[in-house]
């Protein structure tokens, strides 16, 4: 068959069967941030920040809300209010209201990921109050850069290892896996700015508790290697008094030190299978950046003492965190996962671990190596 | 019908290209979704199932080569006619060709389904079928040399997708593979059986063998090609087990394509669209080689000119594929093809070998008797 | 005895004739043309002779000095044998048919007929006007010889023979075209070129049944393998160094009278992206340049269709930050992306075509006016988006990196169907187009040899000539895919031997 016949046939078939449905960029509203809240009596409220590229010079971002029993109904209602379709392919951030998170999120997430054209990379976060509150605060400053600020807060922080990166994919993955629970960052509006204030801990898919952002890295260190994170720790002055270079500033018993974790890693070992006793090992290599009291760190003995104090302080914080977790019965660090890898003959189930976790015992060993402390003593 | 083919010197291909033919026809549409089916049986030990299937495939390939080497220059059609007589031999050949036609249809509708799911929900099935079939017809009309050339080039042009797997690999969770050796042997074997449809394609050796120029070097490219495709399937299975949690791996339909959803580059945000479009270059070699086998079979058995079979078969496929557009129907067809393929490609050569050897032994003995 | 020396007399021999009769016949053949100069000379002894030629075809000075002078000052009675010895011009022949005489007059022969003889004596004194050797106009190289072929076959053959100083060089001449015959010259090195290729070209040329061949590129189209393909199957070049380089490597060249391009066959797809500069530069720079060209054409073919597909169907591919920029620039445009891109591409092709046809002085102005001002005005008027202008301009620029003009034109034309496919079917359309191109190239043949050699059929040893260059120690083989008779250029071991340190 010559090329000409081929071409004529192609043309005919195309004309007969019609072409593909276009989804032109400027004819649709492209959603960037999506918020889900629970309104009264089973209704869901959806809020969306979207871009519509219309007349030039105009800021393309706007806001729309909808309501319905299901997410799709809410989206349809939003479409009715506007003159065009909203597309969900480029959503960067999905926000959930606190009540919605406490109720259970898995239905919304499943609805989102059922769509094969959905983006698995969208970030997830919980709002302190409701999603709509947080999003509408943005609308007061009509500026695309402000819209971008919200996902950027989370993005940058997760890249700096402050919090683990929570995307649609890995939230679901941690949820489905028995023996580990997912987490999510909490954003709140304080002092006229949106901030990352805490890390939400989920039991299954329901919000169970939250820990302040400074302590989030304890969870992070067990998921991945941390590089380049700055932490501040409060240390007692007494054991280090003999290394002080000048008199302490005031009658404080504690002082603060800021150090940069050059490399931090943690791992969990199951020591005793019968009694479920876990040994957690945390290793940090740090650079000292700031001290509020001038402790001289030139001598090896001083460095050793300093290291031991930091180790003690971190260990204490960690054990406090663990007891809180046991009280809430959530396991974001993955102790159950370690147990599962060694449990033969029958796989670990979710309910089994929920029963066992409050009775689990831990011991924590922290090892801090100060690599260098800067140029001045 | 001639048992041994006479092939013109200019139409022969080097054994080197068998590597690309093997991997080209095996890595096709099955790779996209197989890990899910293996996982249903063998869970975190699915990779062991893949290795078992690979070992079985190597054995069957060795047996196939033994069968083929017993003759001067024959393909499976000639061998069947030689052993079973003209009528049954032709019947078996027709069954083989119908099996190929079925596989081609399944590959075609599966790819169309994937495109409809991932990129264009409203695209007309006939349109996509027409696009793909027109390419297949254009290439097969050029003869075996152009098919092998296209298979070779598409292999090179499509393997960059492996580089994209770096990001999912970095997110693998080792604990997903532990504890190891949990599944029982039965489960592992069941898992191995579900990979059959993915590994299918190597039976093309039965058809292409007479066209190879240097037959004495045939084993190495075949072995390397089989290893390469098995390696890719193994890699994909390993990544799916490690990247997804157990429930997700059991339920997500096209798991390998979902792996690419998180890959991002500074100038391209979502790679899964590009991957699904690029998969056309992976599917087409499979369809072209199968179509060639169908035309070759019709010519050998019924003396129908290749051009007529080509256009008629393409038209039939076009018409039929338009009616198969429901997802569960396509999955049912895949499962059916899986079961049929198991018998034709794994069991049949093993059963054929002793018969061939017997016949050859009987022939040489009767020759010796005749000499005396 | 005398019969041996006598020629057999045929009944319808044209000669012998009387001079007056000859003059009448000649004038009647050139009735409305006052081109023919027919002069009758008479010797004292009564012998008459006629000298006739077409005056502007012939070098008059040479006629006077070397023909008429000895002719007229000869003391003996004129006769054909004596004249043969007296006149010092080397290129002499005899002619005895009217057809032969007319054909000879057309190509610049001077005829002398002594009355009563059986044949006329002819001397070849052509004064063909031709261009001086100059720089190539359509292909330019930075380094290396710049001589281009001219319209005169003799000059071209001179240049080629001087470049290939080998006794194995063969230049076969044949006349093509039966109404307006033209000389065509087949050039090859008989110890290197593949005999089958030579025979194929010769047979194709001999079998040609045309009335006229205007140019060598038309000749090339006449003996090409596939007339429906968009890609040229033979390499046509103006540069003499490219031509001679390829002939020395074992290919076959065809030169035509009145045509400044030489045609080389067989050629591969990758030979169209080679420039002799890659050889003259060092190997690393040459490889980089060649790689750059390949990337440039892929970029040129696919970037505009990718933009169209992304904006029309798959905006999710574009990262959010770029999405905002592209969206803002698309917002002003009233057309769908496909039309927008077609308008711009059409505009660029118009500019290119107009720039090629305009006289030089106006051409430069239009280039600047069109390129800068119209482009800017179009964006401000809101007919296209600024991003698309950058993309289209870049892709047009990339398509000009191809050294061969015909291949560059093919690449530019391919972009249009690709854009239409992208506009209709998005990414699937682009992939369909790419697959179609690959299949087409695999099926294409040049002189019976596969077009995509050495990539398919794969020959590792040839890759260093087609895709990249290696240091000269590794270039000791000729292009094996075309099976030359002598595959080796020089000894490999010797080329790679390094002397010991401090020796």
Say if residue A208 is in the same domain as residue A235: no
The answer to whether residue A223 neighbours chain B at the CB level (below 8 Å) is no
CA-nearest of A292, A278, A290, A377 to A337 is A278
Which of A190, A221, A252 is the last residue in one of the domains?
A221
The mean pLDDT of C195-202, rounded to a whole number, is 90
Set of chain A residues whose Cβ sits within 8 Å of the Cβ of B141: 1
Quote the tokens at residue A157: 């922080």
Say if residue A161 is in the same domain as residue A271: no
What confidence score (pLDDT) does residue A140 get? 47
Search chain B and give the residue with CA nearest C443. Answer: B146
Reply yes or no: is the peptide bond before residue A48 cis, omega within 30 of 0.
no
- Judged by average pLDDT, the poorest of A190-194, B112-116, B305-309, C183-187 is A190-194
Phi, psi of B242 (to 5 degrees): -80, -30
- Judged by average pLDDT, the poorest of A270-274, B161-165, C204-208 is A270-274
Are the CB atoms for C181 and C258 separated by under 8 Å?
no
Which of A204, A221, A238 is the last residue in one of the domains?
A221
Q: Which residues pair with B13 in a beta bridge?
A: B212
What confidence score (pLDDT) does residue C304 get? 93
The answer to whether residue A34 neighbours chain C at the CB level (below 8 Å) is no
Q: Which residues pair with A209 in a beta bridge?
A: A201
Phi, psi of A224 (to 5 degrees): -150, 165
Set of chain B residues whose Cβ sits within 8 Å of the Cβ of C434: 281
C291-309 residue pLDDT tens: 999 999 999 999 999 999 9
Which residue shows structure tokens 């994937």?
B114
Task: Fill in the DSSP letter of residue B173.
Answer: -
Candidate ranges A237-251, B166-180, C160-174; pick with highest mean pLDDT: C160-174
Taking CB atoms and an 8 Å limit, are C313 and A20 in contact across chains? Answer: yes
What confidence score (pLDDT) does residue C410 get? 92
Search chain A and give the residue with CA nearest C380. Answer: A56
Taking CB atoms and an 8 Å limit, are B149 and C319 in contact across chains? Answer: no
Taking CB atoms and an 8 Å limit, are B268 and C314 in contact across chains? Answer: no
Are the CB atoms for B165 and B255 separated by under 8 Å?
no
What is the spatial distance between Cα A119 and Cα A114, in angstroms, rounded to a whole number? Answer: 11
Are the CB atoms for C60 and C31 separated by under 8 Å?
no
Say if residue A337 is in the same domain as residue A251: yes
Task: Fill in the DSSP letter of residue B29.
Answer: S
Search chain A and give the residue with CA nearest B142. Answer: A1
ipTM of the complex: 0.93
Which residue shows structure tokens 């020959």?
C459
Quote the tokens at residue A57: 């010079």
Set of chain C residues whose Cβ sits within 8 Å of the Cβ of B135: 432, 435-436, 439
If one counts every other C-beta atom within 10 angstroms of the C-beta of residue C369, the result is 12
The answer to whether residue A75 neighbours chain B at the CB level (below 8 Å) is no
What are the Cα distances from residue C119, in Å, to C13, C17, C124?
A: 10, 10, 16
Candidate ranges A67-71, A98-102, C77-81; pick with highest mean pLDDT: A98-102
The answer to whether residue A15 sits within a structural domain is no
In CATH, the architecture of B19-360 is Up-down Bundle (1.20)
The whole-model pTM stands at 0.89
Which residue shows structure tokens 């700096």?
A160
What confidence score (pLDDT) does residue C503 get? 56
The answer to whether residue A195 neighbours chain B at the CB level (below 8 Å) is no
The answer to whether residue B258 neighbours chain A at the CB level (below 8 Å) is yes
Phi, psi of B141 (to 5 degrees): -65, -15
The mean pLDDT of C2-26, rounded to a whole number, is 67
Say if residue A234 is in the same domain as residue A88: no
The answer to whether residue B120 neighbours chain A at the CB level (below 8 Å) is yes
The answer to whether residue B67 neighbours chain C at the CB level (below 8 Å) is no
Task: Fill in the DSSP letter of residue C133.
Answer: P
What is the spatial distance between Cα C458 and Cα C475, in angstroms, rounded to a whole number? Answer: 18
| pLDDT score of C499 more than 50 | yes
**Cα angle, residue A104 at apex, residues A100 and A109 outer, rounded to 5°:** 90
Taking CB atoms and an 8 Å limit, are B175 and A13 in contact across chains? Answer: no
| pLDDT score of A288 more than 50 | yes
The answer to whether residue C73 neighbours chain A at the CB level (below 8 Å) is no
CA-nearest of A113, A119, A221 to A161 is A221
Are the CB atoms for A262 and A280 separated by under 8 Å?
no
The answer to whether residue A87 neighbours chain B at the CB level (below 8 Å) is no
CA-nearest of C206, C237, C260, C133 to C251 is C237
| pLDDT score of C188 more than 60 | yes
Say if residue A201 is in the same domain as residue A230: no
Domain span including residue A278: 225-372
Are the CB atoms for B187 and B41 separated by under 8 Å?
yes
CA-nearest of B326, B317, A23, B137 to C427 is A23
What is the spatial distance between Cα C132 and Cα C129, in angstroms, rounded to a whole number? Answer: 10
**Which of C35-73 are b and which e, b meaning 16 or more Cβ less than 10 Å from the residue's Cβ?**
eeebeebeeeeeebbbbbbbeebbeeebbeebbbeebee
The answer to whether residue A20 sits within a structural domain is no
Parallel, antiparallel, or unpaired for β A123-127 and A93-96?
Answer: parallel
What are the Cα distances from residue B67, in Å, to A15, A100, B220, C166, C445?
A: 51, 67, 17, 56, 37
| pLDDT score of A11 more than 70 | no
pLDDT band at A3 (very low <50, low <70, confident <90, very high): low
| Chain mean pLDDT for chain A | 81
DSSP per-residue codes, C310-372: HHHT-GGGS-HHHHHHHHHHHHT--S-HHHHHHHHHHHHHHHHHHHHHS-HHHHHHHHHIIII
What confidence score (pLDDT) does residue A19 get? 66
The enclosing domain of A264 has a CATH number of 3.30.300.210
B127-180 residue pLDDT tens: 899 999 999 999 999 999 999 999 999 999 999 999 999 988 988 888 888 778
Say if residue A112 is in the same domain as residue A177: yes
Best residue in B18, B128, B131 for a mutation probing chain C (most C CBs within 10 Å): B131
Q: Choose among B123, B153, B278: nearest Cβ to C438.
A: B153
| pLDDT score of A148 more than 70 | no
- Going by C-beta distance under 8 Å and a sequence separation of 6 or more, which residues neighbour residue C362? none
Taking CB atoms and an 8 Å limit, are B152 and C458 in contact across chains? Answer: yes
Search chain B and give the residue with CA nearest A180. Answer: B245
Say if residue A161 is in the same domain as residue A297: no
Are the CB atoms for A65 and A132 separated by under 8 Å?
yes
Which of A221, A239, A256 is the last residue in one of the domains?
A221
Say if residue A277 is in the same domain as residue A214: no
The answer to whether residue C335 neighbours chain A at the CB level (below 8 Å) is no
Distance (Å) from the alpha carbon of C277 to chain A's nearest alpha carbon: 36
Task: Fill in the DSSP letter of residue C373.
Answer: I
What confidence score (pLDDT) does residue A142 get? 44
Search chain A and give the residue with CA nearest C229. Answer: A3
**Cα angle, residue B235 at apex, residues B234 and B241 outer, rounded to 5°:** 90
Search chain C and give the residue with CA nearest A29. Answer: C327
Q: Which residues pair with A96 in a beta bridge?
A: A36, A126
Q: Which residues pair with A38 in a beta bridge?
A: A44
Set of chain A residues whose Cβ sits within 8 Å of the Cβ of B261: 119-121, 169
Say if residue A242 is in the same domain as residue A123: no
What confidence score (pLDDT) does residue C1 get? 46
C226-280 residue pLDDT tens: 888 899 999 999 999 999 999 998 899 999 988 999 999 889 999 999 888 888 8
Residues (pLDDT < 70) of chain B are 370-372
DSSP per-residue codes, B37-98: HHHHHHGGGHHHHHHHHHHHHHHHHHHHHHHHHTSSSB-HHHHHHHHH-HHHHHHHHHHHHH
Q: How many domains does chain A have?
A: 2
Distance (Å) from the alpha carbon of C387 to chain A's nearest alpha carbon: 14
| pLDDT score of A5 more than 80 | no
Packed helices B219-243 and B46-69: angle between N→C axes, nearest 10 degrees: 170
C9 vs B160 pLDDT, higher one? B160
Best residue in A116, A170, A346 for a mutation probing chain B (most B CBs within 10 Å): A116
What confidence score (pLDDT) does residue A377 get? 59
CA-nearest of A353, A363, A275 to A318 is A363
Distance (Å) from the alpha carbon of B153 to chain A's nearest alpha carbon: 22
Best residue in C438, C450, C453, C483 for a mutation probing chain B (most B CBs within 10 Å): C438
Search chain A and give the residue with CA nearest B175. Answer: A341
Which residue shows structure tokens 């078969």?
B313
What is the spatial distance between Cα C371 and Cα C396, in angstroms, rounded to a whole number? Answer: 12
Taking CB atoms and an 8 Å limit, are C438 and B142 in contact across chains? Answer: no
Best residue in A10, A22, A147 for a mutation probing chain C (most C CBs within 10 Å): A22
Chains in contact with B via at least 3 Cβ–Cβ pairs below 8 Å: A, C
Say if residue A135 is in the same domain as residue A37: yes
| pLDDT score of C152 more than 80 | yes
Are the CB atoms for C234 and C406 separated by under 8 Å?
no
The answer to whether residue A4 neighbours chain B at the CB level (below 8 Å) is no
pLDDT band at A145 (very low <50, low <70, confident <90, very high): low
| Chain mean pLDDT for chain C | 85
The H or E element containing residue B238 is helix B219-243
Q: Choose among B119, B146, B266: nearest Cβ to C427.
A: B119
The answer to whether residue A17 sits within a structural domain is no
- Going by C-beta distance under 8 Å and a sequence separation of 6 or more, which residues neighbour residue C174? C183, C184, C185, C186, C205, C206
Q: Alpha helix (H) ranges present in A124-211?
A: 131-139, 144-159, 168-176
Say if residue A115 is in the same domain as residue A208: yes
Are the CB atoms for C217 and C393 separated by under 8 Å?
no
The answer to whether residue B130 neighbours chain C at the CB level (below 8 Å) is no
């Amino acid at each position: 068959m010559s090329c000409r016949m081929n071409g004529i046939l192609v043309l005919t078939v195309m004309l007969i069967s019609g072409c593909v449905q276009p989804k032109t960029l400027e004819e649709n509203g492209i959603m960037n941030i999506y918020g889900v809240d629970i309104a009264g009596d089973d209704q869901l409220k959806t809020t969306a920040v979207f871009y519509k590229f219309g007349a030039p010079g105009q800021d393309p971002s706007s806001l729309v809300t909808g309501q319905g029993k299901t997410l799709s109904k809410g989206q349809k209602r939003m479409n009715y209010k506007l003159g065009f379709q909203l597309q969900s392919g480029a959503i960067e951030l999905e926000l959930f209201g606190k009540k919605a998170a406490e109720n259970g999120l898995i239905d919304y997430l499943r609805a989102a990921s059922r769509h094969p054209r959905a983006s698995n990379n969208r970030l997830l976060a919980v709002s302190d109050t409701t999603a709509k509150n947080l999003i509408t605060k943005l609308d007061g400053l009509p500026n695309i850069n402000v819209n971008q600020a919200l996902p950027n807060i989370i993005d940058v922080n997760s890249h700096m290892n402050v919090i683990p990166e929570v995307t649609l994919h890995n939230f679901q993955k941690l949820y489905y896996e028995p023996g580990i629970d997912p987490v999510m960052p909490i954003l709140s509006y304080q002092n006229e700015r949106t901030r990352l204030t805490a890390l939400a801990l989920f039991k299954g898919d329901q919000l169970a508790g939250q820990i302040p952002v400074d302590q989030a890295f304890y969870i992070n260190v067990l998921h991945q290697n941390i590089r380049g994170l700055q932490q501040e720790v409060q240390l007692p002055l007494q054991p280090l008094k003999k290394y002080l270079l000048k008199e302490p500033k005031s009658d404080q018993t504690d002082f603060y030190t800021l150090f940069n974790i050059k490399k931090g890693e943690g791992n969990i070992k199951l020591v005793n299978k019968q009694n479920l006793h876990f040994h957690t090992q945390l290793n940090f290599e740090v650079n000292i950046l700031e001290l509020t009291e001038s402790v001289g760190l030139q001598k090896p003995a001083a460095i050793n003492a300093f290291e031991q104090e930091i180790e003690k302080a971190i260990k204490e914080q960690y054990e406090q965190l663990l007891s809180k977790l046991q009280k809430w019965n959530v396991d974001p660090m993955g102790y159950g996962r370690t147990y599962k890898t060694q449990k033969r003959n029958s796989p670990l189930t979710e309910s089994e671990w929920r029963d066992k976790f409050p009775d689990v015992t831990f011991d924590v060993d922290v090892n801090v190596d100060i690599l260098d402390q800067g140029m001045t003593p | 019908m001639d048992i041994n083919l006479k092939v013109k010197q200019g139409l022969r291909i080097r054994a080197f290209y068998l590597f690309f033919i093997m991997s080209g026809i095996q890595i096709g549409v099955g790779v996209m979704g197989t890990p899910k089916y293996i996982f249903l049986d063998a869970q975190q030990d699915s990779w062991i199932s893949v290795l078992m299937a690979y070992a079985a495939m190597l054995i069957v390939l060795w047996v196939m080569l033994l069968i083929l080497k017993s003759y001067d220059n024959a393909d499976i059609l000639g061998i069947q006619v030689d052993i079973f007589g003209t009528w049954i031999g032709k019947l078996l050949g027709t069954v083989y060709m119908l099996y190929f036609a079925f596989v081609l249809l399944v590959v075609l509708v599966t790819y169309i389904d994937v495109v409809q799911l991932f990129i264009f929900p409203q695209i007309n099935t006939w349109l996509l079928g027409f696009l793909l079939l027109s390419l297949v017809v254009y290439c097969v009309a050029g003869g075996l040399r152009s098919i092998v050339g296209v298979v070779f080039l598409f292999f090179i042009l499509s393997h960059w997708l492996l580089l994209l797997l770096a990001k999912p690999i970095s997110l693998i969770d080792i604990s997903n593979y532990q504890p190891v050796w949990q599944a029982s042997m039965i489960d592992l074997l069941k898992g191995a059986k579900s990979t059959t449809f993915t590994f299918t394609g190597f039976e093309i050796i039965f058809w292409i063998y007479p066209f190879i120029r240097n037959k004495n070097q045939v084993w190495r490219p075949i072995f390397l090609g089989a290893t390469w495709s098995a390696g890719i399937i193994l890699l994909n299975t390993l990544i799916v087990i490690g990247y997804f949690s157990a429930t997700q791996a059991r339920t997500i339909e096209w798991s390998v394509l979902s792996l690419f959803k998180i890959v991002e580059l500074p100038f391209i945000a979502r790679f899964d669209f590009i991957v699904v479009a690029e998969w056309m270059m992976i599917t087409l070699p499979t369809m072209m080689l199968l179509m060639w086998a169908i035309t070759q079979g019709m010519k050998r058995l019924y003396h129908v000119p290749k051009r007529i079979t080509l256009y008629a078969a393409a038209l039939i496929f076009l018409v039929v594929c338009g009616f198969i557009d429901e997802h569960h129907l396509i999955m049912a067809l895949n499962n059916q093809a899986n079961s049929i393929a198991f018998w034709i490609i794994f069991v049949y050569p093993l059963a054929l070998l002793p018969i061939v050897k017997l016949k050859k032994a009987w022939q040489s003995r009767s020759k010796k008797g005749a000499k005396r | 005895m005398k019969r041996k020396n006598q020629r057999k007399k045929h009944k319808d021999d044209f000669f012998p004739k009387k001079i007056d009769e000859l003059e009448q016949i000649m004038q009647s053949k050139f009735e409305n043309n006052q081109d023919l100069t027919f002069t009758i000379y008479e010797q004292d002894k009564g012998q008459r002779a006629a000298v006739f030629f077409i005056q502007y075809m012939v070098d008059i000075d040479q006629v006077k000095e070397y023909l008429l002078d000895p002719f007229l000052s000869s003391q003996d009675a004129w006769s054909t044998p004596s004249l043969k010895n007296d006149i010092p011009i080397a290129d002499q022949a005899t002619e005895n048919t009217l057809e032969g005489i007319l054909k000879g007059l057309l190509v610049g022969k001077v005829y002398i007929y002594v009355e009563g003889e059986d044949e006329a004596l002819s001397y070849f004194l052509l004064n063909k006007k031709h261009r001086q050797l100059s720089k190539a106009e359509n292909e330019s190289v930075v380094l290396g010889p710049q001589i281009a072929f001219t319209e005169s076959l003799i000059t071209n053959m001179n240049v080629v023979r001087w470049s290939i100083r080998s006794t194995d060089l063969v230049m076969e001449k044949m006349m093509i075209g039966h109404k307006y015959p033209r000389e065509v010259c087949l050039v090859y090195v008989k110890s290197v070129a593949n005999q089958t290729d030579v025979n194929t070209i010769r047979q194709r040329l001999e079998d040609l049944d045309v009335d006229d061949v205007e140019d060598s590129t038309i000749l090339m189209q006449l003996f090409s393998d596939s007339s429906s393909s968009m890609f040229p199957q033979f390499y046509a070049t103006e540069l003499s160094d490219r031509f001679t380089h390829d002939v020395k490597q074992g290919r076959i060249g065809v030169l035509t009278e009145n045509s400044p391009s030489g045609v080389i066959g067989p050629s591969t797809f990758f030979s169209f992206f080679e420039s002799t500069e890659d050889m003259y530069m060092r190997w690393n720079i040459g490889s980089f340049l060649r790689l750059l060209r390949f990337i440039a054409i892929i970029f040129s073919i696919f970037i505009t269709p990718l933009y169209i597909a992304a904006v029309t169907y798959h905006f999710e591919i574009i990262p959010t930050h770029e999405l905002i920029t592209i969206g803002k620039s698309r917002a002003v445009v009233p057309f769908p992306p496909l039309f927008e891109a077609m308008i711009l591409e059409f505009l660029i092709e118009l500019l290119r075509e107009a720039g090629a046809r305009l006289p030089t002085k106006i051409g430069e102005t239009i280039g600047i006016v069109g390129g800068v001002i119209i482009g800017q005005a179009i964006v401000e008027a809101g007919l296209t988006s600024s991003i698309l202008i950058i993309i289209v301009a870049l892709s047009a620029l990339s398509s000009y990196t191809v050294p061969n003009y015909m291949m560059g034109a093919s690449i530019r034309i391919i972009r249009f169907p690709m854009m239409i496919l992208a506009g209709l079917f998005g990414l699937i359309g682009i992939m369909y187009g790419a697959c179609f191109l690959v299949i087409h190239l695999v099926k294409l043949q040049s002189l019976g040899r596969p077009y995509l050699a050495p990539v398919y059929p794969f020959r590792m040893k040839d890759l260093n000539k087609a895709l990249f260059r290696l240091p000269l120690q590794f270039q000791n083989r000729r292009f094996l895919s075309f099976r030359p008779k002598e595959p080796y250029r020089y000894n490999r071991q010797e080329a790679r031997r390094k002397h010991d340190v401090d020796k």
